[in-house]
Each structure stands twice: as C-alpha cells, then as structure tokens.
Amino acid sequence: MQRGVRAALAAGVAWQVAVLLPPWFSEYAYYAPLGAVIAVHPTIADSVSAAWRSVLAILTGFALAVALYELTRAVPNALTIALIVAVAIAVEQGRLWREQASWVSFAAVLMITVGLDDPGAYVLRYAGLTLLGAVIGVLVTTVLFPPMQLTRAVEAIAAARSLLAAHLEGIAATLRDGRVPEPDEWAGRSRALDGALERVRAAEAAVERARRANPRARRWQGRAAGIREESRAVDRVAVLVDDLTSLVVEFQPHRRGVDRVEAGTGWVLADALDGLAGVVRTPHHSTDGTVPDRRDERIADAEAALDRLVGLLRTTRPADEDGFLALGAVAVGVRRGLTALGAHRRQPLRA
C-alpha cells in the first residue's frame, strides 16, 4: 500500500512537472510518469538502482537499434528487426541490468518502430523525460520515509521458527511412537523449511537495503542489527537440524546406539529434540531478568534433556558403532543449536 501511494504521488508530480516544460518536451509528458513508476521501490537503494539501470538500459537499446539499422539498410526490415531483438536480448544477459534488463530490447524495438524519423529528438524526449520521472520517483521515496522493512523480517523469522520447532517436535513424536522416520516423510518438511528460510534471507537482505540512505536508519539501527543476528541464528540452527534429521533417519541411533533396552534411548533422544524445539519457539525473555521467565524454563528443560542424553552416552556401551557415533553427533548438534540461539539462563529456577 505504501509503495502504491508513493508511485501514484510520484507519477502525478512527474506529469505536472513535465507539462510545464517547453512544448517540445511537454507533448510527450506521459514518459515522465513511466520513469516515476519505474523508480518507486520499497527502499531508497532499490529506487536509485532501478532508476539509473532503467535509463541506461533504455539508452543502450536505442543505440543498438540505430547502429544496427544503419548497418543493415540493404537488408529487409523483418531481418533487421530480428537481428536487433537478438542482439538486444544477448546484451540483456549482462549482470549490470538486473531486473531492468528487459528495457534494452523494449527500447530497441520502440526506436526501430517509431523513433527512426528523428532518432536524436526521440532519445532526448523519451530518455530525458523518463530520467526526470525517475528522479522524482527517487525523491518521493526518500521524502516519504520508506519503511525499514522490519515488520516483514520479524514475521518471516517467526514463521521459520515455527516450522523449525514443528520439524523437531515431529521427529520427537516419531521416536516416542517407536517408529523409524521415513525419508520421504521428512523430505517434504525439509522443503517447506527451506522455503521459509529463503524468505528469512530475503527479508534480512531487504532490511539491509532499506538502511542505505534512509533517514530512519539511525533510529532503528539497534532493531535492524537484532533482526540480522536472529535471522542468522535461525539459519545456523536450521542447518544443524537438517543434519540431525539425516542422522536419525539414516543411522537410527535410538535403536542401534546403545545395548541397554531399559535405557529408553528413543525417549531420551526425543526429549533432547523437544527441548531444542522449545527454545526455538521462545526466542526472547519476557522479564527484566530479576526473575526466571518462560524462556529460562525452556532453556532449563533443554539443558536437562541434553544432560540425560549425554549421561546415557557416558554410561552405556556401544551396541553399534555407527549408531552410537550418530547418537553422539545428535547430542553435539543439539548443544550447538542451543549455543547458536544464545540459550543461557539469566536466573536459576527455584527448587
């Protein structure tokens, strides 16, 4: 909605400015709103990037069209247009253009079809007014204080945490049921989690772009840094959880790791995974640190469950070397996950 308001305002202002120019320009005033809409993006950095890349792509397309037309005057028009489009699309493959690449071929076809009567004048009118509109679009984006994109990032991180915790809890439930997790069963969950993590990374990148040249960046610097730190912590834990899932599915350490049936390895392992899931679901403390809160409780539960798993490893004899090593690797992975999440108690729980 905010982008829509900015784009509408920028287009209106660009039109009004363009019609006040001398008639040689004002007759083509509709090019200015086009440039304004092109340049309005959620962040100032994206707006500036879109503005200059679009105008440069348009000028490149115009130049290609005029040059190739002059070189192929003896060739039928259909072949000339085909050659211009082919070359323009080849030029579009360069990394310079990014999302504005298609303007090269668009401008080339536009020039060859409507601008050849007076190429110089057409370039000045089209590119000049588009540039004018783009500048206005950037100014409107800057003046109207573009958002820092923090809310979207927070929502993306929360969704990823929820999926990550559900993934761990699902594995734990399977272990408690005495079943062996099926690879196909967890592949779908892994894909869903991968999608959530991609959205987190994209949201974090948007926050970083939003900080550039943003008048509000200094005010929200601490919050943006916190989001970046939390995003990367969730990403690290997700990698660890993916490894844990592979170990449990492939090596079945709850069945093969130790030789004592009464040890209840599956339940001990499930408790450790549930403990990590609880910390994933509770990212922040809710008190000032003078008394334990829910996060302290979740961390204490996770540490206790991990201690039981480590104790089991220390007091039992390996029944299967691969299974036992996998069980130890899971314990290390849970510990690393807690560390990545900054899981430390500020206050001891009451007895």
Checking if the pLDDT of 351 tops 70, the result is no
**The pLDDT value given to residue 173:** 87
pLDDT at 268 over 60: yes
Q: Which residue has the higher pLDDT, 213 or 189?
A: 189
Instruction: Kindly report, residue by residue over 194-246, the tens digit of the pLDDT.
Output: 888 888 888 777 777 666 666 665 666 667 677 888 888 888 888 888 888 88
Q: Which residues contact 185 (CB under 8 A, 6 or more apart)?
A: none
- pLDDT at 252 (0 to 100): 76
Are 241 and 164 spatial neighbours (Cβ–Cβ below 8 Å)? yes
85-119 pLDDT tens trace = 999 999 999 889 988 999 999 999 999 888 888 88
Class of residue 71 by CB neighbours under 10 A (exposed 0-12, middle 13-18, buried 19+): exposed
Range among 97-111, 137-151, 247-261 with highest mean pLDDT value: 97-111
Cβ burial, residue 288 (10 Å; 0-12/13-18/19+): exposed
Per residue in 32-78, pLDDT (tens digit) is 999 999 999 877 888 888 999 999 999 999 999 999 988 888 888 88
What's the average model confidence in pLDDT over 150-179?
85
What pLDDT is stored for residue 326 in this prediction? 84
349 pLDDT higher than 60: no
Confidence band of 347 (pLDDT split at 50, 70, 90) = low
Nearest to 212 by CA among 2, 43, 51: 43
- pLDDT beyond 90 at 130: yes
If 0-12 CB within 10 Å is exposed, 13-18 middle and 19+ buried, where does residue 318 land?
middle
Question: Would you state the pLDDT for residue 34?
Answer: 93
Q: Beta partners for 318?
A: 258
| Residue 275 near residue 305 (C-beta atoms within 8 A) | yes
Handedness of CA 209, 211, 212, 213 (dihedral sign): positive
What span, in angstroms and rounded, lies between the C-alpha atoms of 271 and 256?
A: 18
The full DSSP string for 23-45 is HHHHTTTTHHHHHHHHH--SSHH
pLDDT value of residue 206: 74
Mean pLDDT score across all residues of the chain: 84
Residue 204, pLDDT score: 77
pLDDT score, position 196: 81
pLDDT attached to residue 264: 77
Range with the lowest mean pLDDT among 34-43, 138-147, 182-191, 334-343?
182-191
Whether the per-residue pLDDT at 256 is higher than 70: the answer is no
- The pLDDT assigned to 218 comes to 65
Give rounded-to-5 percent helix, strand, coil for the chain: 75, 0, 25
pLDDT at 262 over 70: no
**In this structure, what DSSP letter does residue 290 have?**
S
Is the pLDDT score of 261 beyond 90?
A: no
The DSSP annotation for 233-247 comes to HHHHHHHHHHHHHHH
Q: Using pLDDT thresholds of 50, 70 and 90, give the confidence band for residue 84.
A: very high
Residue with tokens 């287009």, as numbered in its chain: 11
Residues 13-21, mean pLDDT to the nearest whole number = 94
Is residue 350 very low, low, confident or very high in pLDDT (cuts 50, 70, 90)? low
